[in-house]
Amino acid sequence: AKEQSRRLHSSGPVALAMSFSMLSATSVSLINFALYLAFYTAYSKASKTLESALLWDVVLVRKGVDFTLVELNKAISLTGLTNLILALLLPSLRGGLTWQAMLMLWTHTGYSVLKYYGSPHIPKAETWSRNPMTDFLSSEPKIKLSAVKKFAIVLGWISQLLLAFASLPAATLAAAVGHFYSIEVDYKFKLGVRPYALLPFPLAAAAIALYLYAG
């Protein structure tokens, strides 16, 4: 009975701390997601300003379900990536933020495969037998872009596998950021994302540097 009581008392604070950690991590995730909706989804590339109508188009499904899902998928993927960054910067929330990032990035991966397989973003399986270096050095934009996207997909799967099966936060984040960059560039390696989506790059560099320094 004493042993059982000791276990209950020792596990209670741990369980409570984990609960608060998950609650705080959930709050951070929701804030991240809301910020991406406000400053990424609502940003107009045409006017280069924030337009609330763009956000309402998504929230109210005014341009159709497909448009809303595409935009939410982008916001979810960026929130997941940002969670990975914050997991390095906030050790007390690392477990909760990492777990939620994994769920978001799995969701993003599943949707993206269903939506984009066979498109320039996710080339068909039969094209993967081509020599990647030859394609990468090709003067043909479509072929070169296909090689870049294949590299992005490989980095994405590496980050997903590390996230699920290894405890290598810095390597996981580096692969995830590499995936994000290479999936978004064109064949000239020009990054065309909305400004708020640039935030993960300096944050990730700082997070990895601080994590390695502290470790």
The answer to whether residues 80 and 101 touch, using CB atoms and an 8 Å cutoff, is: yes
Q: What is the pTM of this model?
A: 0.86
What is the rounded CA–CA span in Å between residue 102 and residue 161?
10
Q: Within 13 A of 146's CA, how many CA atoms are on the CB side?
A: 22
The answer to whether residues 211 and 169 touch, using CB atoms and an 8 Å cutoff, is: yes
What's the pLDDT score for residue 85? 95
- CA of residue 109 relative to chain centroid, distance: 9
DSSP helix/strand/coil, 114 = helix
CA distance to 9, 39, 48, 110, 113, per residue, from 107 (Å): 37, 22, 29, 5, 10
The answer to whether residues 173 and 88 touch, using CB atoms and an 8 Å cutoff, is: yes
What is the rounded CA–CA span in Å between residue 15 and residue 69?
36
Give pLDDT tens digits along the chain (215 positions).
544 444 434 445 545 445 545 668 999 999 999 999 999 999 999 999 999 999 999 999 999 999 999 999 999 999 999 999 999 999 989 999 999 999 999 999 999 999 999 998 898 888 888 888 888 888 899 999 999 999 999 999 999 999 999 889 999 999 999 999 999 999 899 998 999 999 999 999 999 999 999 87
What's the pLDDT score for residue 23? 67
